[in-house]
């Protein structure tokens, strides 16, 4: 019965697509109805199929409702509207509009600075003076502020964006921001008489694109948020009187990676690409039918699709500045508008009404419970929002389940638990901890160190038959990650999950402190030397080659040809930084790193050349939670209760509660945003993920694979029966 139900559904869909004789196009005004009717007549006159029928609505939102009710088939609307519609409706994107460049871009939002102001970059905008086109505008407000929030450079407590901006910048001119925080209008000047200051109109000298650029030119602000054409419109002889002596070469763009570039490099150096309008269609319609109909309309009919002059309006049905239609490339609307643009809109898409009354933290001990209660009181006394509540969990898994079931909202977890939280319970990271003051969310990078003089090892396969030094059996950077990478690369293939045996066969000899267990290969301990008296060979915590420094010493003293340690180990024991006799006269330049990309690099290049980025702890929440609300709360809180404050309550100190690392690790220097690492996979990093997965039992993977093959075979047989 199930097979025939599936066949019936398939035949219905096929019939619907093949019998698409007309397309019901949604319009949002009387002028659009007029243009749509004229377009339908023009298309029909040259026998374009399917034919067009026009349906009237009052807004893009109403068109979306009609689409869901199957009362219309298609309409064109802006990328911002597509984002809004995507929250409620299910649809396909059939095509996009484009100018002659064929890229489907309206413009790029950029941050412009003077070339002479060489100190400023995208990472140090806090405390700077800024020029904006106007509050609520795309290029001067939504894109730059959304970018700063989404990337974690700016925090906003309780979705109060204007206050967040006021706290972040020293002073600004944001026309239209009157009645908000005073600093948002502080740099505005009004008209020649000083009237109309901060008004969202041409009465304000620094309003709109040219005005925001002029604010920069006058040295009133240090950075102007405008579109990519603004500098060109006002330099090298173009523009009004105030711009006549300006040269484009005297200005630069701030790039997201912290660098700067020429104003002509806007395609690579921008804060956001603002996409052109897209053609939204009903999920049951074949996208190519719509795209082909519009393309033929351009080629075969005399109708001016991208002009609204004859119908007394602007941008009717389609944008007047477009020249062609291009395939959307994917049914999913996020693919068309772009993940970056989507994330920026999402970061700005928050109001006071979206802030929950409280955030419930899941705690695991009486000490953590006591600290949580004190944290809730301390936060409340400073007026921080949302409030903190505390809920006792029986175990980490119980807490993760409570969060999944909406009984709790947050818990701080380490890497192994983050993996489980994401994979099993669908949780996502909201904020991370930083133990170094860096913002990349790493505890450290796991690296493979070689002597520069050893030219025999150029890639991972060259490690076969070599001698190796490890921090300890079962440890992250010294065992799990390097052995996981060897498995992932197919260089070792454990039989029946016997990973240690496979590693023992791969390496000629090793020192893996702690591998002195019955049943493990003896050569995993053969390079160890024991303690200072020669006793306790290969004993974890006692062998001189144990731990990070011990594994590096093993390499230095020739007991191994590669040492698996963390990125800071070499620097801590070379260039005069080491205190033990064996470190004397060691130079960091005498060592190199072996990269997982099968190359070698300098020890200072660990961010590009490493085996894995070992991630710091992260606060995990449900995917429907707003991470910017969580970061906004904790970032504001650490200004009062962080490491540099003398407050009674301390976020990163557990000594008053008879424990350590309660709620947050005591070694935390600051709470950081997850930035672009919005999923558990992104936070853990691909190399760390690969090592974790590779170290899982390969036998169970084989069973899963066999089951998958059996299922796939069954599906193929079923489909062949349906076709017959």
Please answer whether residues 521 and 511 qualify as being in contact, where contact means their C-beta atoms are separated by less than 8 angstroms. no
Residue 444 labeled ligand binder: yes
N residues, the chain: 724
Q: With 0-12 CB in 10 A as exposed, 13-18 as middle and 19+ as buried, what is 157?
A: buried
Q: Which two tokens stand for residue 129?
A: 């003076």
| Rounded-to-integer distance, Cα 569 and Cα 278, Å | 53
User: How far is CA 459 from each of CA 27, 227, 567, 587, 593, rounded to the nearest angstrom?
Assistant: 61, 46, 18, 23, 11
Cβ-Cβ contacts under 8 Å for 48 (sequence gap 6 or more): 293, 296, 297, 300, 301
**Of 22, 45, 201, 283, catalytic:** 283
Cis peptide before 386 (omega within 30 of 0): yes
Helix (H, G, I), strand (E, B) or coil at 414: coil
Query: Is 108 part of any known ligand binding site?
Result: no
Annotation-wise, does 688 bind a ligand? no
Give the bridge partners for 76, in sequence order.
Answer: 279
Coarse DSSP helix, strand, coil percentages of the chain, rounded to the nearest 5 percent: 40, 20, 45
Give the CA distances from residue 230 to residues 91, 226, 234, 273, 344, in Å, rounded to whole numbers and listed in that order: 35, 6, 7, 15, 22
Please identify which residue in the block is written with the tokens 């600075």.
113
Residue corresponding to tokens 């949302």: 386
Judge whether 133 is annotated as a binding position: yes
Question: How many degrees, rounded to 5, is the angle at CA 576 between CA 572 and CA 579?
Answer: 70
639, 630 Cβ separation under 8 angstroms = no
Of 311, 309, 336, 310, nearest in space to 104 by CA: 336
d(CA 13, CA 525): 65
680 is in an annotated binding site: no
What is the distance between the alpha carbons of residues 226 and 622, in angstroms, rounded to a whole number?
36
Query: Would you say 255 and 65 are in contact if contact means Cβ atoms under 8 Å apart?
Result: no
Is 422 within any annotated ligand binding site? no
Query: Residues near 503 by Cβ (< 8 Å), separated by ≥ 6?
Result: 483, 486, 492, 510, 521, 524
- Distance, in Å, from the CA atom of 233 to the CA atom of 513, rounded to the nearest integer, reads 67
Q: Taking a C-beta distance cutoff of 8 angstroms, is the pair 593, 457 a contact?
A: no
Identify whether the C-beta of residue 65 lies closer than 8 Å to the C-beta of residue 91: no
What token pair was written down for 110? 């950029």
Q: DSSP letter at 410?
A: B
Q: Is 654 designated active site?
A: no
Report strand pairing: 387-392 vs 358-363.
Answer: parallel
Residue 471 among known ligand-binding residues: yes
Q: What is the DSSP letter of 268?
A: T
* Residue 140 marked in a binding site: yes
Strands lying side by side in the sheet with 22-27? 51-56, 22-27, 74-77, 278-281, 92-98, 324-327
Instruction: Record the tokens describing residue 575, joined without a space.
Output: 């260039």
Q: Answer yes or no: is 107 a known binding residue.
A: yes
Which residue in the list 35, 66, 92, 197 is annotated as catalytic? 92
What does the block give as tokens for 702?
A: 């084989």
Q: Tell me the C-alpha distance between 72 and 715, whole Å.
A: 35
**Rounded-to-integer distance, Cα 152 and Cα 141, Å:** 16
Establish whether 346 is a catalytic residue.
Answer: no
Q: Give the tokens for residue 599.
A: 């190359």
Q: Is residue 53 a known part of a binding site?
A: no
β-pair type (411-413, 562-566): unpaired
41 is known to lie in a ligand binding site: no
**Which residues line the annotated binding site?**
107, 133, 137, 140, 209, 414, 444, 471, 475, 478, 548, 617
Q: Which residues are catalytic?
A: 92, 283
**Which residues line the annotated binding site for hydrogencarbonate?**
133, 137, 140, 471, 475, 478
């Amino acid at each position: 019965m199930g097979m025939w139900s599936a066949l019936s559904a398939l035949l219905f869909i096929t019939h619907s697509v093949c019998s698409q004789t007309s397309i019901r196009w949604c319009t949002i005004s009387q002028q659009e109805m007029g243009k749509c009717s004229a377009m339908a007549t023009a298309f029909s006159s040259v026998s374009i199929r399917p034919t067009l029928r026009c349906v009237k609505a009052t807004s893009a939102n109403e068109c979306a409702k009609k689409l869901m009710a199957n009362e219309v088939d298609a309409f064109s609307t802006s990328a911002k509207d597509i984002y809004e519609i995507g929250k409620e409706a299910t649809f396909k994107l059939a095509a996009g509009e484009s100018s002659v460049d064929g890229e489907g871009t309206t413009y790029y939002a950029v941050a412009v600075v003077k070339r002479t102001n060489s100190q400023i970059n995208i990472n140090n905008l806090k405390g700077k003076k800024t020029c904006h086109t106007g509050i609520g505008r795309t290029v001067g407000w939504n894109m730059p502020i959304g970018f700063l929030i989404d990337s974690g450079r700016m925090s906003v407590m309780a979705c109060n964006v204007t206050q967040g901006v006021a706290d972040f910048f020293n002073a600004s001119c944001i026309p239209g921001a009157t009645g908000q925080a005073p600093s948002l209008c502080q740099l505005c000047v009004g008209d020649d008489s000083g009237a109309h200051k901060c008004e969202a109109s041409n009465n304000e000298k620094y309003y709109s694109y040219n005005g925001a650029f002029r604010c920069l030119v006058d040295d009133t602000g240090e950075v102007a948020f405008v579109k990519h054409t603004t500098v060109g419109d006002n330099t090298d002889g173009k523009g009004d009187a105030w711009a006549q002596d300006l040269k484009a070469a005297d200005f630069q763009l701030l790039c997201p990676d912290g660098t700067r570039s020429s104003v002509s490099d806007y395609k690579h150096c921008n804060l956001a690409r603002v996409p052109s309008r897209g053609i939204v269609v009903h999920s049951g319609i074949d996208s190519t039918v719509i795209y082909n109909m519009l393309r033929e309309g351009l080629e075969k009919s005399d109708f001016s699709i991208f002009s609204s002059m004859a119908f007394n309006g602007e941008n009717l049905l389609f944008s007047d500045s477009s020249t062609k239609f291009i395939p959307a490339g994917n049914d999913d609307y996020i693919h068309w508008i772009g993940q970056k643009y989507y994330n920026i809109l999402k970061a700005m898409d928050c109001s006071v009404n979206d802030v929950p009354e409280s955030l419930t933290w899941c705690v695991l001990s009486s000490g953590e419970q006591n600290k949580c209660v004190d944290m809730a009181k301390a936060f409340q006394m400073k007026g921080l929002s949302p409030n903190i509540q505390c809920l006792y969990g029986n175990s980490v898994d119980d807490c993760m389940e409570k969060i999944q079931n909406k009984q709790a909202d947050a818990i701080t977890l380490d890497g192994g638990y983050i993996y489980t939280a994401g994979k099993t319970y669908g949780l996502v990271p909201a904020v991370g901890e930083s133990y170094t003051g860096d913002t990349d969310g790493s505890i450290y990078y796991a690296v493979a160190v070689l002597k520069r003089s050893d030219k025999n090892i150029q890639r991972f396969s060259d490690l076969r038959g070599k001698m190796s030094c490890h921090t300890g059996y079962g440890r992250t950077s010294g065992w799990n990650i390097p052995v996981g990478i060897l498995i992932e690369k197919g260089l070792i293939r454990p039989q029946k999950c016997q990973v240690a045996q496979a590693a023992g066969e791969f390496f000629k000899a090793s020192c893996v402190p702690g591998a002195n267990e019955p049943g493990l290969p003896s050569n995993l301990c053969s390079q160890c030397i024991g303690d200072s008296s020669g006793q306790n060979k290969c004993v974890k915590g006692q062998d001189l080659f144990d731990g990070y420094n011990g594994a590096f010493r093993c390499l230095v003293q020739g007991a191994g040809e590669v040492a698996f340690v963390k990125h800071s180990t070499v620097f801590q024991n070379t260039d005069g930084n080491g205190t033990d006799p064996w470190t004397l006269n060691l130079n960091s330049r005498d060592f190199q790193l072996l990269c997982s990309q099968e190359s070698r690099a300098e020890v200072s290049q660990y961010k590009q050349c490493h085996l894995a980025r070992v991630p710091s702890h992260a606060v995990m929440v449900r995917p429907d939670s707003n991470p910017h609300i969580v970061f906004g709360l904790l970032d504001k809180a650490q200004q009062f209760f962080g490491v540099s404050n003398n407050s009674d309550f301390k976020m990163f100190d557990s000594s008053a509660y008879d424990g350590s690392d309660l709620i947050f690790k005591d070694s935390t220097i600051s709470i950081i945003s997850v930035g672009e690492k919005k999923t558990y996979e992104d936070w853990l990093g691909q190399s760390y993920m690969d090592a974790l997965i590779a170290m899982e039992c390969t036998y169970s993977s084989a069973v899963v694979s066999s089951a998958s093959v059996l299922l796939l075979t069954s599906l193929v047989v079923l489909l062949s029966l349906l076709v017959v």
